[in-house]
Amino acid sequence: MRLYDTYTRSLVELPSAPGPIRMYVCGPTVYARAHIGNARPFVIGMWLRSWLRATGYDAQLVHNITDINDKIYDAAPGASAGLAARATGWYLEDTGDLGLGMPDRLPKATESVPQIVHFIEELIESGHAYAAGGDVYFRVASFPDYGRLSGQKLDQVEQGEEPSALKEDPRDFALWKANKPATEDTWWDSPWGRGRPGWHIECSAMAEEIFGPAFEIHGGGLDLVFPHHENEVAQSRALGHPFAQIWAHNGMLRFTGEKMSKSVGNVATIRETLDEWGREAVLVFFLTASWRKPIDFSPETMAQAAARRDTLRNAFTLAGAEHDEAGWAVFAAVLDDDFDTPAALAVLHEWASTGQLELLRRGLQVFGLESLAERAEAPAEVVELAEQRVAARAARDFETSDRLRDELGARGWQMRDEPGGAYTLVRDT
RNA sequence: GGCGCCUUGGCCGAGUGGUUAGGCAGCGGCCUGCAAAGCCGUUUACAGCAGUUCGAAUCUGCUAGGCGCCUCCA
């Protein structure tokens, strides 16, 4: 399998199966309900793990929770830890309801502070970082490759994060921030005094704590390339660690013409979207676009995804056909080529229209959509109504039969007539 | 100002030199008491201009438009 790598800007071949594929995908900062854009890296990460496992790899997914951050302090003055814990719960609940299972590990920054402190100490010892006034900064000038991941030229980078007189260079970034008692109600003791980790160092520390100094794939949103991931590589490679082999950045989800983001305010939460459209439509929606490209979220695109979901599900109410086992190779080939889910979706539709139901079921399973193959059993009262309708139709009492059909619809069941008084009951969504 | 991505038919979205992507929607038909589902048929393409080539949606250049990052951001 090959995947597009941001660092080399090319398709990179994965080591051949079987073997370990260790994936680290950046997770959310927990201070509010996550929006549907936040779900994209999660979904892609889970699908990738699923596909890699299906093709013989020992794939592991680590997805971090950033529960130390200015946003959290700002959103809950004096009660940041409580908000972070609550929002972590929401995130686990919302992503859990996508029905894709859970990552292998979900490390939290607050539980990794000792590893982070240790990492910073090593950077100071090696001359790549320096302590100043209770803060610790990474010395960007000490790492010649800085800017290579994002393609930034150092002399063109605008002023870095918040300017500070303590920095040697304005582009240096904080690894450790001294506690500000007025606004920051959580802190940890460190060799540099009370404080808390910077954002970028947590990922380097947690990824390496779990995977060691080298792993195969690092994922996250395209908006994290600079400065977040640039800083991560700098920290880890400054210590001589290979770090990630492939940088897999997913495209942004757009809503109302621009990136969905809390700061713009054009958000729909995962919760709302699941409630309105159902998990299967949400997953089909993500399937329709290449993982690297932007995807437009709108009532129209969601409705189309829901219609496709129905087409796929309806296939299981029809008669199956002979299986063409060779068909699987086509499906595998498109996924192995940069995880082309739109092409895979076309294959699923092909199987749906030709009645290759066993292949279709297997294909859907890769994406957590095997539920589309399940036929819900109608409760006795629904079957009773259906039988009454069969009788009414036999008696050519169409007024009654139409009324019964409406009644079934109101109970969430669609009745499809078939020749000879037979019928199929399908659960509406 | 710097770095990068994108522009395919009503909508979404594949396709990297010569062959129907696929889906949704539309239209006509079959089926049905009427529907639904399904099936058959069918309309609308490659932003613009110039170039390379026997031949370009596919390569090159320019123009126009859109998006992301450079500040927290999946």
A104 phi and psi angles, rounded to 5 deg: -70, -35
> Scanning the structure block, which residue is given the tokens 């929401």?
A90
- Cβ of A383 near strand B (under 7 Å)? The reply is no
Residue type, A274: L
Å from A10 (CA) to B53 (C1')? 28
Note the strand B nucleotides within 7 A of protein beta carbons: 1-6, 11-15, 21-25, 32-40, 66-74
Separation between the CA of A245 and the C1’ of B74 (whole angstroms): 20
Q: Is A415 helix (H, G, I), strand (E, B) or coil?
A: strand
Query: Are A406 and A385 contacting, i.e. CB atoms less than 8 angstroms apart?
Result: no
Reference A327, options A291, A290, A352; nearest CA is A352
A416 forms beta bridges with A424
The third-level CATH classification (topology) of the domain covering A2-254 is Rossmann fold (3.40.50)
- Give the residue-averaged pLDDT of A34-57: 95
pLDDT in tens, A369-407: 999 998 888 899 999 999 999 999 999 999 999 999 999
CA angle in degrees (0–180, nearest 5) for A347-A351-A355: 175
Q: Is the CB of A290 less than 7 A from some atom of nucleic acid strand B? A: yes
| CATH 3.40.50.620 domain position(s) in chain A | 2-254
| Alpha carbon distance A378, A384 (integer Å) | 10
Reply yes or no on whether the pLDDT at A256 is more than 90: no
Residue with tokens 């290759």: A356
Could you report the per-residue pLDDT of A170-191, keeping only the tens digit for each? 889 999 999 999 999 999 999 9
* Residue A164 Cβ under 7 A from any strand B atom: no
Burial pattern A81-99, b for ≥16 Cβ within 10 A else e, equals eebbeebbebbeebbeebb
Name residues 203-232 of chain A with a Cβ under 7 Å from nucleic strand B: 220-228
Q: What is the pLDDT of residues A106-157, one digit of tens each?
A: 999 999 999 999 999 999 999 999 999 999 999 999 999 999 999 887 776 6
Protein CA A388 to sugar C1' B70 (Å) = 68
Please check whether strand B approaches the CB of A421 to within 7 Å: no
Number of residues in chain A? 429
Q: Hey, what amino acid is at A37?
A: G
Q: Which nucleotide has the least CA–C1' distance to A415?
A: B36
% helix, strand, coil for chain A, step of 5: 45, 20, 35
User: Is the Cα dihedral A414, A416, A417, A422 positive or negative?
Assistant: negative
CA geometry: angle A301, A303, A304, nearest 5 deg: 65
Does at least one atom of strand B sit less than 7 Å from the CB of A323? Answer: no
The pLDDT assigned to A110 comes to: 96
Question: Is A79 within 7 A of strand B by CB distance?
Answer: no
The partner residues of A29 in beta bridges, in order of sequence, read A66
**CATH second-level architecture of A297-373?**
Up-down Bundle (1.20)
Q: How far apart, in whole angstroms, are the C-alpha atoms of residue A319 and residue A424?
A: 12
Least confidently predicted of A167-171, A192-196, A276-280: A167-171
Distance from residue A287 (CA) to nucleotide B44 (C1'), in Å?
26
Confidence of residue A166 (pLDDT cuts 50, 70, 90): confident
CA of A428 to C1' of B15 (A): 35
Q: Which helix (H) or strand (E) holds A129?
A: strand A129-132
* Measured CA distances, A21 to A9, A99, A265 (Å): 20, 22, 36
Q: In which residue ranges of chain A is CATH 1.20.120.640 found?
A: 297-373
Task: Give residue A158's pLDDT.
Answer: 58
Per residue, the 3-state secondary structure of A152-203, as one string, reads CCHHHCCCCCCCCCCCCCCCCEEEEEECCCCCCCCCECCCCCCEEECHHHHH
Answer whether residue A9 shows pLDDT above 90.
no
Quote the CA–CA distance of A409 and A83 in Å, as a whole number. 42
**Does the ipTM exceed 0.95?**
no
